[in-house]
Amino acid sequence: MTFIVGIFVNDAIAIAVWTSFSFHKPRLLYLLGKHRRMPGKSKELSRRHLVVGALGSLVLPVATHATARGIEEPTTEADARFMRMAIAEAALGDYPFGTVIVHDGDVLARGRNLDNQEKDPTAHGEMVAIRNFLKEHGPDLLKGTTLYTSGESCPMCMGAIVWCGIGRVVYGASIAQLATKIRQIMVTNSEIANKTSFLDIAITGGVLADEAMKLFK
């Protein structure tokens, strides 16, 4: 691949050409010959023509990312059972948000909102569950797990879910529903998943949403 950098300062042109000049040589020779055959034009090919011609012959690579996907999945038979566990955690939280993390059908970590107890505004149910999981099992086992949360994750928690490589998120009440009871950043899990170019995340929403919303007095 050839990279050409042209720097124009007071009509001075600096050109750096890396690797395969021979790939573009036929194109440049064609331009040179064509220029010399043009009547009324100087036979000398200027540096400016060289730059324009060379750039015209290039197809520069553009960095691309794999298509990001938030994959919507239907509810499974096990989802209601695990969601009830998450809702039970939520009922014990400073705010009614609870989470369980499941690996191969086993609950390996739980968490609930500990905002007030920990004096930590980042101690959301998902964050607490993730931290508990990491303490007990480490990061490798966390990849590909399913996280159940009583309420759709905020952008902070969803970002943590992405960086941990969690494979599926199942939530109860949606951001829109939660916003009728408590302050929310109005960015959905699907929006974040669809901007994540390096990971496919399965998302299932609305599981026992009414039960989750009943926790808000």
pLDDT, tens digit, 9 for 90 and up, residues 178-213: 999 999 999 999 999 999 989 999 999 999 999 999
Question: Within the chain, what is the greatest distance between any pair of CA atoms?
Answer: 88
- Average pLDDT score over residue span 127-140: 97
Q: Which two tokens stand for residue 185?
A: 């950043």
Active site residues: 126
Query: What pLDDT is attached to residue 74?
Result: 77
Q: Per-residue confidence at 147, pLDDT binned at 50, 70, 90?
A: very high
Query: What pLDDT is attached to residue 69?
Result: 52
Q: Per-residue confidence at 75, pLDDT binned at 50, 70, 90?
A: confident
Query: What pLDDT is attached to residue 132?
Result: 98
- 125 near 93, Cβ under 8 Å? yes
pTM of the model: 0.68
Q: Per-residue confidence at 70, pLDDT binned at 50, 70, 90?
A: low
Inform me whether the pLDDT recorded for 98 exceeds 50.
yes
Pairing of strands 106-112, 98-103: antiparallel
197 DSSP 8-state letter: T
Inform me whether the pLDDT recorded for 86 exceeds 90.
yes
- Average pLDDT score over residue span 12-17: 36
**Beta strand ranges found along 34-162 (DSSP E):** 69-72, 98-103, 106-112, 146-151
